């Protein structure tokens, strides 16, 4: 383990610099204005630096002041407002936006008292939003990395006993492989098959009549590729409701064949 850590440190020194300041600068230059990856990575670094007994040298500790805030309060807005305000917040970004954004707000509260109080007021509603978009399995997008970020962030913000945290931890424990590793996605075939079917249908290569319901999912013609999507069919004319927001925007184009 120590050998692995020393090699990782050598790699970081060669490619990102020897100090926390250099590494923060490198990370920001790589991702630019896109906070999707930079903020979670820096937040995780700051979280690790604050752990007691970590033994992390002071020169490579990332401070919370180096971690940009995330506007988790946006999740309080109705979905329709995203389009009106031209906010490109996709469904799969909401779990990270809410959990990591709240953790950063907890560790480095907003300075302006009025804005801080508004953000404090948004904590409860956005947590409820997070709970509604969490799948029954407990895993966001059935992905261990994203679910782990959500669990760590909520726990670090003092919400280790929150239902979302508990269900996320149960998902992580269930997903571990016999060799002790974790898959990136517990059901990646859903993602790949859905993208393929959607692209073929949108391009006119897969007529709608070839997409038929089979068991708990959909099968495309005789290709053997299925989309095992649990669905709850509403009354005629009311449309189809999916248990999560993840596959919905990709499956709908494939279903809209009429």
> Is the CB of residue 197 less than 8 Å from the CB of residue 210?
no
Residue pLDDT, tens place only, 135-154: 999 999 888 888 999 999 99
pLDDT at position 208, please? 52
The torsion region of residue 256 among left (phi > 0), alpha (psi -120 to 50) and beta comes to beta
Check pLDDT > 70 for residue 14.
Answer: yes
Question: What is the residue whose two structure tokens read 């393929």?
Answer: 196
Check pLDDT > 60 for residue 174.
Answer: yes
Coarse DSSP helix, strand, coil percentages of the chain, rounded to the nearest 5 percent: 60, 5, 35
> Is the CB of residue 100 less than 8 Å from the CB of residue 134?
no
Q: Which residues contact 162 (CB under 8 A, 6 or more apart)?
A: 127, 154
How far apart are alpha carbons 128 and 187 in whole angstroms?
A: 26
pLDDT at position 191, please? 63
Per-domain residue ranges of the chain: 8-175, 188-255
CA proximity to 198, closest of 174, 225, 231: 225
The sheet that has 211-214: what strands, in order across it?
Answer: 211-214, 217-220, 226-227
In the predicted model, what is the mean pLDDT of residues 84-108?
A: 80
């Amino acid at each position: 383990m120590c050998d692995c850590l020393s090699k990782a440190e050598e790699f970081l020194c060669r490619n990102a610099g020897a100090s926390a300041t250099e590494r923060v600068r490198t990370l920001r230059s790589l991702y630019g204005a896109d906070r999707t990856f930079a903020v979670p990575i820096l937040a995780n670094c700051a979280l690790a630096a604050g752990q007691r007994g970590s033994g992390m040298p002071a020169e490579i500790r990332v401070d919370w002041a180096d971690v940009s805030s995330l506007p988790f309060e946006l999740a309080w807005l109705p979905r329709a407002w995203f389009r009106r305000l031209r906010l490109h917040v996709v469904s799969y970004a909401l779990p990270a936006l809410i959990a990591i954004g709240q953790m950063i707000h907890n560790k480095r509260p907003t300075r302006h008292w009025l804005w801080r109080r508004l953000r404090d007021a948004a904590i409860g509603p956005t947590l409820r939003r997070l709970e509604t978009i969490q799948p029954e399995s407990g895993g966001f997008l059935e992905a261990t990395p994203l679910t782990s970020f959500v669990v760590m962030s909520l726990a670090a913000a003092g919400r280790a006993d929150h239902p979302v945290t508990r269900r996320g931890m149960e998902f992580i424990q269930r997903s571990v492989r016999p060799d002790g590793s974790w898959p990136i996605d517990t059901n990646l075939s859903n993602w790949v098959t859905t993208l393929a079917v959607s692209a073929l249908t949108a391009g006119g290569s897969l007529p709608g009549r070839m997409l038929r319901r089979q068991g708990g999912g959909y099968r495309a013609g005789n290709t053997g590729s299925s989309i095992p999507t649990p669905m709850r069919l509403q009354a005629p004319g009311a449309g189809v409701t999916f248990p999560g927001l993840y596959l919905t925007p990709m499956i709908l184009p494939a279903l809209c064949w009429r």
